[in-house]
Structure 1
Amino acid sequence: MVLLTVLDVLLSVVGAVGMVYQGVCIVASLFAKPVTFPEAPMDKRYAVLISARNEENVIGNLITCLHEQTYPSELIDIWVVADNCTDDTAGVVRDMGCHVVERHNLELVGKGYALTYLLDYMIDAGLSDTYDAYFVFDADNKLDRHYFEEMNKGFQSGFKILTSYRNSVNLADNWVSSGSALWFIRESRFLNNSRMLFGSSCHVGGTGFMFSKEIMKRNKGWKFHLLTEDLEFTMDSVLHGDRVGYCGNAILYDEQPVTFAQSWRQRLRWSKGFLQVFRYYGPQLIRRAVRERDFSAVDFTLLLCPFTVLGVIRVVMGIIFAACGFVTWQSQLGAVTGWSSGILLSIVGMMALAALTIIAERRQIGATNKELFAYVLSFPIYMLSYVPISFQAIFSKVQWKPIEHKG
C-alpha cells in the first residue's frame, strides 16, 4: 500500500535527520568552547514566581537557596501562588518572608493557570513594572548560590528569555530517577549548549528559566495553558523571532520521580502535551522554517514531530491492512524485522548516549561508578517505555496531577 510506503519513508527520513542532528550537537558540545557571558553589574530587580501545591515539606529548601544567593537579596522578591493547597504551604513561605497569593480553582488546574493567576494579581496591583525580569521555579528545586549572578550576566548580555543547567538532586536513587535525570543533563550539555554555539534558540524546560518584563507585557502576563506550558512558551517565543538563551553556569537541581508509576504519569502528561503543542504550533513552525529559513524553527519541528506515535501507527496499520488482505503478512513481518534491527541499534545508541553524558558531566553527577554503570544499562528501558506511553497519550484524556516530592 502507498500509505504504508509513505510512512516508512517519512519515518526513515525524520529518524535519520534527527540522529544526524543529535550527533552534530554532541560533537560540537564536546569539542567547542561553550558560550559564556561577561561580568555584569548586579543592579537588575527580579521577581521569582513559584507555583506550589501542597509543598510545605520541600519549598523551604528553595526559599533558603534564594536567600543565600550571591546576588543582592534586596533585588530579589519571591512570589508564591499556593495553588489549591490543603496543607500549610502558604504559611511556611509567608513566615520565610515571601509574597503569597492563594488560589482555589478546581476547574482550571495546572501550573500554567496558577502562573496566570499570580501574574494577573501582580499586574492588577500595579507591581509588575517593578521588575526587570521574572524567574520561574518549581517548589522542589534547589539552586547553586551563584545562580542569579550567572543568569543576570546572560540577561544583561541581551537575552530576553534565558534557561539554565538542569541537574537533579536524586539521580542515584534508582533507575527511574536516573533515567529522567540523565535525559535532562543530556539536554543541557549537548542540545542547549550546542544551540548557543549555532546561534539558534534553546528549549525552555519546565523550571529554571527567566523572561523579561517586555516578554511578560507582550503575553499580557502568562497565556500558556497546555499540558506542557514550558514547551508552548518556547514555541510561541520562536514564532515571535525571540532567541532563547542558555546559561550553563547557572545550575538548578530538580527532584525526579522515583517510582515507575509516578514517572509514567508525568511522561504521559508530557507526551500528551507534545501532541497538543504539535497540533497548535507545528504548522506555523513548518511555515516559518520554509519561508524564513529559520534554523530554530527547523530544530523545534524535529523536536515536536511525534516520531514514536507515527511508528506505533505504522505498525498498527500494517497489522490491520494485512488482516484485511490489502498487503501480505510476509511483507509486514519483513517490516517488523527491519524495525527490530532498528530498535536493537537504538538500544546500543541509548546506552552510548547515557555513557557519554556521564563521562562529559561526571563532576556534576553525584553517584558511584558502579551505580552509573547500572544506570547506563537501564537507560534504554526508561526510554523505550516512551513507546506505550506515547500510544496511550493518543487516546487518553490527560489532566495535570501533582507529583509528590520528599525533599
Structure 2
Amino acid sequence: MIKVVYYILWTLALVHALYFFLTAFFAFKREKRLKSGDGKTKFGIILPARNEEKVIGELVESLRKQRYSKDLYDILVFVNNCTDSTREVAKKAGAKVIEVTRKVSTKGEVLMFALEKLKDTDYQAYIVFDADNVVDPDFLNVMDDAYSNGFKAAQGQRETKNVNDGWISTCYSLFYYIQNLFFNRARTRMNASCSINGTGFMIDKEFAEQHFKPKTLTEDIELSIFCNLEGVKIFYAEDAITYDEQPTRFNVSWKQRTRWSVGIIQCVRAYSGKLLKNAFKDNNFSCFDKLLFIITPFLQILSFVLGIFAVIVGCFGISVGILSHVPFWMFILYTIICYVISMIFYALVLLYHKKSIAKNFMGILLFNFFIFTWVFINIYSIPKKTLEWKPIVHEKSMKKLK
C-alpha cells in the first residue's frame, strides 16, 4: 500500500513539473507581431505609494518622457499612510496626487479605492506600476498596440534595476527572467493567457470596475484569475519594459516571499473550485493552466517530502520498489549533475538578457538554494489565513546605478 501511494504521489509531482517543462518550449515558437496601434488609447496610470520619496520622482519623470501623446495619459499617484514627503516629490515631478481617504492595508485595497475614485473619468484602460519602478519610453506605445488589437489585459516585461547588487537581487532577476520567458512569453505564443505579476500591467477600465474585487494578499494573481474566469486573454507585451528594484537582504526577501505564498494559498482556497469548474465546463485552458500554477506551493512541498523519503530509502536500504535497487551514491551523482546543468541554464538566461555572468556568479550558484527556501516559506504559509502587509523600503535610483 505504501508503494502504491508513493508512486501515485511521485506521478502527480512529475506530471505537474513535466507540464510546465513542456509548455516552456512554446517560448521558442515564432512570434506573431501585433498590428501597430492608432495611438489613441487614453490611459490612466495608477501609482500606489506609501513613503516612497526616494524613488517616486524618478518613476514620474520616466512616465513624463513617454513617446506618447501627453493628452492621452495622466499620471495618478495614490498616496496612503505617508509620513514622508512622497506627496511633494510626486507633485513636483509632474504627477496628480490623490489622497487615499480610507483605511487601507494592502495594494489591492488601494487599487479598489482608485477604481472607485476614477469611475467617472474617460480613461479606456489603466496601467499600474509600483512606486520604485522606472519605465521604458515606449511602454505606452506598446500597450496601445495591445489594446488596439483587442487585448483588454496585458503584462509588460519586468526587468531589474539592481541585478548586480548581490546574490539576492540576482536570484530575483533570474526568477523574473525565467517567468517572463518560459511562462508569460510561452503562453502568449501558444495563444493562451499569460499572468499578471505585480507591476507594469494594463487592464481595461470597464473590466476592472466590474470584476476586480480582490480579497487576498496577491491582487495580481487574483486579477489574472478574474481574467481567466471571464475569458479575457492576458497578452505578454514583451517590449513594454519596467525596471523594478529587488531586495538585497535575505530577511527582506523572506518576508516578501512569505506574503506572496500566503496570498497564493489564499487564492487556492478562494478560487480553485471555480477554476476547475470553468476548465471543464467551458473548456477553458487558461483556467486549467492557472489552477496548476496556483497549486505550485503544495507540489513544491510534496516534491520535497518525496525527495527526503527517497534519500532515507537510499541511506537505509528500505525496500520500496525500484528505489531499493538504486545505490545512494547515484542519488548524490544525479544531484550534482542536475545542479551543474541548472547553473549552465541560469547563466544562459542571464546572457540572453545581456547580463554579466562574472558579476552575478553567486546568484547563479545560489539560485537553487533561493528556490529551495521557498519550500519552508510555503510550509510556514499554509496555516496562515492572512498576514500583515509590511512595506519594503525602496531607495535604488537608476541614475545612481549607472
TM-score, normalising length: structure 2: 0.87
Q: Please say if residues 110 and 401 of structure 1, whose CA atoms lie closer than 8 Å, have aligned partners that are also in contact.
A: no
Match of 1:86 in 2: 83
1:211 equivalent to 2:203? Answer yes
Match of 2:99 in 1: 102
Match of 1:324 in 2: none
Superimposed CA distance per residue, residues 118-157 of structure 1 (whole angstroms, 9 cap, x where no aligned partner): 221222xx32xx1010001000001111111111101101
Superimposed CA distance per residue, residues 73-132 of structure 1 (whole angstroms, 9 cap, x where no aligned partner): 2211011111111111112212233222223655x4110011111221222xx32xx101
CA distance 1:10–1:132, change in 2 (3 Å): same
What CA distance in whole angstroms lies between the structure 1 residues aligned with 2:209 and 2:383?
36
Which residue of the other structure, out of 107, 116, 127, is the alignment partner of 1:120? 116
Q: Please say if residues 36 and 247 of structure 1, whose CA atoms lie closer than 8 Å, have aligned partners that are also in contact.
A: no
1:69 equivalent to 2:58? Answer no
Match of 1:12 in 2: 11
Which residue of the other structure, out of 128, 153, 178, is the alignment partner of 1:161? 153
Match of 2:48 in 1: 51
CA distance 1:154–1:70, change in 2 (3 Å): same
Cα offset, 1:346, TM superposition = 5.8
1:175 equivalent to 2:171? Answer no
1:268 equivalent to 2:258? Answer yes
SS at match of 2:129: strand
What CA distance in whole angstroms lies between the structure 2 residues aligned with 1:141 and 1:147?
12
1:374 equivalent to 2:381? Answer no
1:138 equivalent to 2:130? Answer yes
Between the aligned residues of both structures, percent identity stands at: 30
What CA distance in whole angstroms lies between the structure 1 residues aligned with 2:267 and 2:10?
20
Aligned residues, how many?
385
SS at match of 1:138: coil
1:111 equivalent to 2:111? Answer no
CA distance 1:101–1:11, change in 2 (3 Å): farther
Paired letter, 2:20? Y
Which residue of the other structure, out of 259, 268, 274, is the alignment partner of 1:284? 274
Cα offset, 1:358, TM superposition = 1.9
CA distance 1:315–1:194, change in 2 (3 Å): closer
Unaligned runs of 5+ in 1: 319-327
Match of 1:386 in 2: 374
TM-score, normalising length: structure 1: 0.86
Cα offset, 1:372, TM superposition = 3.4
Which residue of the other structure, out of 221, 225, 244, is the alignment partner of 1:235? 225
Q: Please say if residues 35 and 196 of structure 1, whose CA atoms lie closer than 8 Å, have aligned partners that are also in contact.
A: no
RMSD of aligned alpha carbons: 2.8
Match of 1:321 in 2: none
Match of 2:290 in 1: 300
What CA distance in whole angstroms lies between the structure 1 residues aligned with 2:270 and 2:317?
37
What CA distance in whole angstroms lies between the structure 2 residues aligned with 1:275 and 1:339?
32
